[in-house]
Chain A
Amino acid sequence: MASRSQGSLVVRRILRNPVAVVGLVIVLSYLFVAAFAPRIAPFDPNEQDLSKSFAPMSAEHPFGCDEFGRDLLSRIIFGARTSLIIQIFSVCIALVVGVFLGALGGYFGGWLDEGIMRMMDILLAFPGILLALAIVAMLGPDLRNLIIAIGIYSIPQFARITRGSVISVKQNDYVTAARAVGETQASIILRYVLPNAISPIIIQTTLRMATVLLTAAGLGFLGLGVQPPEPEWGTMLSNARMYLRSAPMVAVIPGLSIMLVVLGFNFFGDGSQDALNPRLKE
């Protein structure tokens, strides 16, 4: 009996969905650009040349230059790197803490669950960006604090998704069977419950990458994110808005970059959601 593994089945389902493939291509190119930024970028992103201030698009500067004559393409490329760092670290914080809290609450239930979920409700009661804003304002605006702020603000989503998934998985017979052979609680959670509850968490992680990027850009736009001259898309957009009438491309290009990458993650997230759905077995 030739049976394919679950993993290769998922990959094939993703590849059959054109929207997911578009998302995958965007995400992969984004990752590539971010990883090899110093090799790809034609110029130093922070090198100023005031004689080239607002230079139009040309062969030398495909996206033109900004107000200080810095090459926009190079700044977009290095900006991708900054964004990726923010995304990875903040989603990691949210993932680890959120999954831990959600699994604990979902598995043990009772007052522990009640306590954890009410805490998450409190976090959710703040309008998203306001919470991140308050945390950055408290800690001071720099890259590390931005990551911490966005991480904290993403915890409730992961906790809720994990909790829901864990509650449905723990009712399976194999969890009772695991208890019947004397497995410890920790082993049951780590080996029986979490691996079977992982699909929605993976999807949430991809989709969250998009939201986090938007939030980081939003905070950057408000001046609470990465500080100039570090290239970051939100911050670049914010600085360029003063010249929107005379040099619209300086604002449009970072905006388009944000949009493209967010779309890419969303497409890919939605596509993997369909592919990971166990009800769609072939």
Chain B
Amino acid sequence: MKTPLLSVRGLTAHFHTEAGIVKALEDISFSIAAGEVLGLVGETGCGKSVTASCIMRLIPMPPGRIVSGEILFDGRNILALPDDEMRRMRGHDMAMIFQDPMSSLNPVFTTGYQVGEAIVTHEPQISRKTLLGRVLDLFRKVNIADPETSVNRYPHMMSGGMKQRVMIAMALSCGPKLLIADEPTTALDVSIQAQILTLIRRLRREEGSSVLLISHDLGVIASMADRVAVMYAGSIAEISRVKDLFDAPQHPYTKGLLGAIPRLDRDQGRLAVIAGTLPNLMDLPRGCKFRERCAEALPVCAEERPALTEIRHGHEVACHARTRR
């Protein structure tokens, strides 16, 4: 197998707060091949966005601290890069689309200026004329209506869907190898969601970038991703190809998640729920983090944290009930 574009190994990140140490990420490992879309799903607070911020190195430190692990991008450990080199990689080699397009654009500059600014940061010698051409091309690429007028518009003059397109244009401005989309459609209404997802899918095909798609919406993941990683309380519970995950989920948590999807096409009565609540990240239990909510728990689950283990080709799961039979 060729070396993956991004490979996260044993990433552990803590936040030091007044109340105690929040163990936001614990021993996270996954990789993304060139051109692949990896979906990252999980509930609010399970560490999806922290993982993305670690890859971009946008974690505020302090209070954040990466305790151990490495993030290899193109074979280089980016956690060890000097700040300035890391800054040059951001936007150029890896870019990020944020959750809320309403607040992700600077209100005092026109959208065209901001996209141009992202290009100038990485190509300072570019001429004004080429720059405008590049910005207009980008606006066209992300289907912004009337690009010539739109480049001169301020963010407050645009709708949420248009702003998210501007954010995507900005992210694509330097042709990044990795695009991190952190819940790119959560703040948008359903019809715009579909348009944005279609756009991301098309761009990924045209540009050939790898995508790390973060979402809590399994429907979005199913339609977009090649592989999925399911996160629970700061750990990865299961990774597999999308089809395998939906056809044959292995981890009890994944099963619970899939059972909790409301469906319009059949009458299922009350929606299934996962009993119990998330563990406190400041005071994690010794064994499996999901044990207290798990119907299949074994005695060993209280003692030992399960490690991610490959049970079939390309299908890894962190569950004692699956790996010790």
Instruction: Name 7 interchain pairs, CB-CB below 8 A, sorted by A.
Output: A3-B154, A174-B107, A176-B58, A180-B56, A182-B88, A191-B117, A195-B106
Among the 9-residue stretches B95-103, B226-234, B302-310, the one with 4 or more Cβ atoms under 8 Å from chain A is B95-103
For A176, the chain B residues whose CB sits under 8 A away are 58, 98, 104
Tell which of B88, B106, B156 touches A178, judged by Cβ atoms closer than 8 Å. B106
Does the CB pair A177–B117 fall under 8 Å? no
Supposing A179-B90, A182-B87, A191-B109 touch, asked if A3 and B95 sit within 8 A by C-beta, the answer is no
Most chain A CB neighbours (cut-off 10 Å) among B90, B100, B106, B107? B106
Q: How large is the interface on B (under 10, 10 to 19, 20 to 34, 35 or more residues)?
A: 20 to 34
Q: Is the C-beta of B289 less than 8 angstroms from some C-beta in chain A?
A: no
Q: How far is the CB of A196 from chain B (nearest CB, A)?
A: 6
Given contacts A173-B100, A176-B98, contact A182 B108 (CB under 8 A): no
**Residues of chain A with a CB closer than 8 A to B173's CB:** 181
Q: Which of A174, A177, A187, A196 contacts B121 (CB 8 A)?
A: A187
A177 touches B90 (CB 8 A): no
Cross-chain contact A177 with B104 (CB below 8 angstroms): yes
Interchain nearest-CB distance for B24 vs A (Å): 17
Binary per-residue interface labels of chain B (92-124) against chain A in the complex, 1 for a CB within 8 Å, 0 otherwise: 100110101001111111000000011001100
The answer to whether B91 touches A174, judged by C-beta atoms less than 8 angstroms apart, is no
When A1-B157, A182-B122, A192-B106 are in contact, do A173 and B98 touch as well, CB less than 8 Å? yes
Check B106 against A180 for contact (C-beta < 8 Å).
no
- With A174-B104, A191-B117 known to touch, is A180 a contact of B58 (CB < 8 Å)? yes
Q: Which residues of B contact A187 (CB under 8 A)?
A: 117, 121
- A181 and B104 contact, Cβ closer than 8 Å, known pairs A1-B157, A176-B58, A191-B117: no
Contacts of A277 in B (CB 8 A): none
Q: Complex: how many Å from CA A196 to CA B105?
A: 12
**A183 touches B (CB below 8 Å):** yes
Let me know if B156 and A174 touch, CB within 8 A. no
* Nearest-neighbor residue (CB-CB) of A179 within chain B: B58
Closest-CB distance, A3 to chain B (whole angstroms): 5
Contact A180 B107 (CB under 8 A): no
Interface string of A1-43 (1 = CB under 8 A from B): 1010000000000000000000000000000000000000000
Complex CA–CA separation, A177 to B167 (angstroms): 9
Using CB atoms and an 8 Å cutoff, list the residues of chain B in contact with chain A. Answer: 56, 58, 87-92, 95-96, 98, 100, 103-109, 117-118, 121-122, 154, 156-157, 167, 170-171, 173
Contact (Cβ within 8 A) B121 A173: no
Note all chain B residues with C-beta closer than 8 A to A184: 87, 121
The verdict on A168 contacting chain B, using a C-beta distance below 8 Å, is no
- Of the listed residues A172, A176, A180, A182, the one surrounded by the most CB atoms of chain B closer than 10 A to its CB is A180
Q: Please name all residues of chain A whose beta carbon is closer than 8 Å to the beta carbon of B58 when the two chains form the complex.
A: 176, 179-180
Residues of A within 8 A of B (CB): 1, 3, 172-174, 176-184, 187, 191-192, 195-196
Contacts of A1 in B (CB 8 A): 157
Q: Are A181 and B170 in contact (CB under 8 A)?
A: yes
Contact of A181 among B108, B109, B118, B157 (CB under 8 A): B118
Beyond A3-B156, A176-B98, A180-B58, whether A196 also contacts B108 by CB under 8 A is yes
11 more CB-based (< 8 A) A-B contacts, given A181-B91, A191-B109: A1-B157, A174-B103, A179-B58, A179-B90, A180-B90, A181-B95, A181-B117, A183-B87, A183-B118, A187-B121, A195-B108
Nearest A residue to B105, CB-CB: A174
Q: Which of these, B89, B92, B98, B154, contacts A177 with CB under 8 Å?
A: B98
Bound Cα distance from A182 to B122, whole angstroms: 8
Q: Which chain A residue shows the least CB distance to B57?
A: A179
For the complex formed, measure the closest distance between the CB of A185 and the CB atoms of chain B, giving whole angstroms. Answer: 8
Q: How distant is A276 from chain B, measured CB to nearest CB, in Å?
A: 13
Most chain B C-beta atoms within 10 Å of own C-beta, residue among A3, A174, A179, A181 = A181
A194 to chain B, nearest CB (A): 10
B157 near A174 with CB under 8 A, answer: no
Are A174 and B90 in contact, CB atoms less than 8 angstroms apart? Answer: no
